[in-house]
Structure 1
């Protein structure tokens, strides 16, 4: 343990500078204008893996963005850890809300500010540095394989094909992922549950062209008004429940004992509201903020547009209105089924004055992992050693669809050992990642490898 800490301390500046180089690459997978940068990020990773003396490093092209694969096989009789991460990032918009340029990383108040700092470049790169740390002590305690993809932020469209095609190559004993968060820097935790996702885009069309609001206003339905009314109707204002028919049919009602156990997680509501600069919270009645954000399904508008939004005024009734809508799902809800239910419901509630199209984007299934596996126990022991406290198992509201995919195709459990914080503003302006968290991950991950080598025998 002391040797690990000493090496990290001696190389802290190098570790940070390498991450900064990674963060400077604007690998935005959702925007084709950044395609060359996404490829550049993949190539950058190949070079870094090459410095780790891996047995094999390859880039696998897909119909979208490439997947980087690397492996180091020490002994076929030793357990194998398959590490998953992603090098693509969310779009930085709105740029004007950043305090510093999103692809020019800076450290302020002990935090690294840049798009991808926490999600997931910083957390993925910890695993490469952990291998560097382990290399200082001789050979690795476990065999290790890496998948680092470039499409996580757009639904991992081509990962399933890759995993099924190369199932034998990806054989392992456990999957290790750092793309989640902890409760706090002094309250370590390990994620044991994730929500699924159904993501759609809706289009509402009224007249065949934009119209003068004075000539036609009051005589026809405005598609933006109609879209807003339709969206508003998707939730019951009294209960906060989603009104899509059949939406809750497969939702598991957790026991009072389980919910009581969840309630023991430290939560400062006043600090939560202060951090968000809000006076109150909202959501489904009868559930706490922590429950609403983890064990209950949701429906949210992620973007809405139409008509004139430029400077000044333009008195126009738009022909079309659009919105992007995401639904976070809980175990037993199936993303394709929920998408179908939404499509039918949205078309049903549309008035005859407009035409509606719903375009599904991507989805994924919820996942719950056991705390009784050697992988979880190895992670808990590693965090207890590095943090000096036993980590708390938690369920998160985010989605990592590959967890369910890995279980189905590879038959493997996943350990979700993340080091971010909910306050790291991932997907938002001013995304950041604590220097403490980055270095603590590099300290803890080698301990996981050592523990798993013992517990998986």
Structure 2
């Protein structure tokens, strides 16, 4: 514990300097989705690479992926100790609508013990915590208690478009004993959570066509099919009145929640009435037999994300639309496969398409779900590390969202993935006024210091 205290003391004394370094990184507009920021994205990668080099990491390079570069670096001198692959991303979301920002998105500003900037919470801030802690260990002790490799990418916000194929080609370089990721959230301001599962994703667009053009409703009404009505009928067929998905075979491969998992969800004390109030909802909705939290985190869904067709303008236009469209996504759980689910949904759509509707089913993004064995010592140590810093026992939970790279790492490297986040759900990532709690900045440094130091003992013999 003395080694941990020495590093924590160093980090506390260097806190202001560390914040200034993070502000430097946050000031780089590394928006991966916009071509005009391509140079800025590379500049952020170079900034991180230089930080790793100056800290004493070796083999630091910008690896070309076919898109934005990936930052690699390593320190591999802890003989006989575990190797940790640290994953993060330095790219950020676009900032629109700009007028809703209270301070410029790339001029990092502290207000009320929160650091405001695009990327502060997702994911530059949490990624920087790892760099800061490992750098401090090298400065204080001249070595690390574990071996470390960095994989910090620049395309997470555009779906990690090139990462899977890149890692397939280079997997030997990234082989490790576990992956450590800080791109998830805490349950609350002082309630740490070890995320051991993520839902997968399957997405599609359904295009419906009827006549060659829109038709006059007075001349043709009652005799020809209506594309907007056809889409509405298809959408209505997706769910039963009780909220379950009506697609045949949709639940066939769903791995049931264990009693232990349901007990962990119950410990979170989720208030469904408060959820309704906070979202201004008259009522909740969804699959019966599960709590709202279980449905949001650990049960599969089919959601309509957008629906359009026909006349949208002011007033009335007496027209029968000849085309209409709907976008859907399914959140998936183990052991559902995205392509199999899309097969089932496409079959359902074709079966329920009304007479006269020509349907095209266009497959889009997908990613497999992931669940780790949360009794693994690397995950159990994460809970202990949180408790060390927060003074609060961590809970184990699944997250309703998807991080496609997690399943990629699991499939290619066959090692456990430990997800230790420090962000909060209300920190406006992907929205104006994104921010990062400086309380979690400080506690995150302590959490990771404990984790890296204690990992060799936790993994001994595993």
Judge same fold: TM > 0.5, yes or no: yes
Residue 219 and residue 45 in structure 1: after superposition, are their counterparts in 2 closer, same or farther (change >3 A)? farther
How far residue 414 of structure 1 moved from its aligned partner, in angstroms, is: 1.0
Q: Give the aligned partner of residue 166 of structure 1.
A: 170
Q: Deviations over 1:240-291 (max 9, x none)?
A: 1112221111112324454244212232334433433434322222211111
Alignment of 1:46-445 (within 5 A): 46-95=49-98, 98-138=101-141, 139-209=143-213, 220-236=224-240, 238-256=241-259, 258-306=261-309, 315=317, 320-445=323-448
Q: CA deviation at 1:301?
A: 2.6
Return the offset for 1:342.
1.8
In the aligned structure 1, how far is the partner of 2:278 from the partner of 2:381? 33
Contact 2:264 2:396 in 1 (8 A): no
* Structure 1 residues 339 and 103: CA distance shift in structure 2, 3 A: farther
For the pair shown, which has the larger CA radius of gyration, 1 or 2? Answer: 2
**Matched residue, 2:41:** 38
Comparing 82-91 with 14-23, greater Cα deviation is found at 14-23
Query: Deviation of residue 211 (structure 1)?
Result: 6.0
Sort the Cα spacing of 1:31 and 1:337 in 2 relative to 1 into closer, same or farther, 3 A.
Answer: farther
Give the secondary structure class of the aligned counterpart of 1:421: coil
* CA displacement at 1:234 relative to structure 2: 1.5
Where do 5+ consecutive residues of structure 1 fail to align? none
- The 1:409/1:268 distance shift into structure 2, 3 A limit, reads same
Contact 1:111 1:435 in 2 (8 A): yes
Q: Is the 8 A contact 2:233 2:354 kept in 1?
A: no
Question: Quick one: distance in 2 between partners of 1:291 and 1:445?
Answer: 29
Q: Distance in 1 between matches of 2:344 and 2:9?
A: 56
Give deviations 1:5-46, integer Å, cap 9, x for gaps: 433333333333333333344434344454444333323322
CA contact (8 A) 1:155 1:363 kept: no
Give the superposition deviation at 1:77: 2.9
Q: CA deviation at 1:178?
A: 0.8
Q: 1:222 to 1:439 in 2, by over 3 A?
A: farther
Decide which moves more: 257-266 or 210-219.
210-219
Question: CA–CA distance in 2 between the matches of 1:305 and 1:97?
Answer: 27
Shift of 1:436: 1.4
Q: State the aligned residue count.
A: 455
- The more displaced of 24-33 and 176-185 is 24-33
Cα deviation digits, residues 169-210 of structure 1 (max 9, x gap)? 112111101111122232222111211111223333344456
* Cα distance in structure 2, aligned partners of 1:389 and 1:99: 33
**CA offsets 1:381-417 (integer angstroms, 9 cap, x no match):** 2212111233111122121233232222212111111
SS in 1 for 2:150: strand
Determine the C-alpha separation between the residues in 1 that align with 2:402 and 2:111. 29
C-alpha displacement of 1:215: 6.8
Tell me which residue corresponds to 2:13. 10
Aligned twin of 2:453: 450
Change (3 A) 1:300 1:121: farther
Deviations 1:419-449 (A, max 9, x none): 1223333344443321212232122112211
Residues 1:305 and 1:188: Cα distance change in structure 2 (over 3 Å): same
Q: Secondary structure at the match of 1:420?
A: coil
The farther-off stretch of 100-109 and 120-129 is: 100-109
SS of the aligned residue for 1:77 comes to: coil
Local SS of the residue matching 1:416: strand
Q: Which runs of 5+ in 2 are unaligned?
A: none
Q: How far apart are residue 294 of structure 1 and its match? A: 1.3
CA 1:275–1:26 in 2, change beyond 3 Å: closer, same or farther? farther
Q: TM-score, normalised by structure 1?
A: 0.89
Which of 18, 23, 28 matches 1:20? Answer: 23
Q: 1:154 touches 1:362 (CA, 8 Å); kept in 2?
A: no
